[in-house]
Amino acid sequence: MIRYYVRVSTVEQKLDRQLLAYKDADIIYSDNISGKNKERPQLKAMLEDLKENDTVVVKSLDRLSRSTIDLLEITQEIENKGATLKVIDKDIDTSTAIGKFFLTIIGAVAELERENILQRVKEGVTIAKEQGKYTGRKKGSIELKGEPLERFKMFYNKGFNKSELSREFGVPRATIYRWEKVLKERGEI
Plot region of 33 (φ>0 → left; ψ -120 to 50 → alpha; else → beta):
beta
Distance CA 32, CA 14 (A): 9
Q: Is the dihedral of CA 48, 49, 52, 58 positive or negative?
A: negative
Q: Crossing angle of helices 68-80/97-130, nearest 10°?
A: 150
Q: Tell me which H or E stretch contains 135.
A: none
Distance CA 74, CA 38 (A): 9
Q: Cα-flanking dihedrals φ and ψ of residue 5, to 5°?
A: -105, 125
Query: Is residue 9 annotated as a catalytic residue, yes or no?
Result: yes
Q: What residues are annotated to the active site?
A: 9
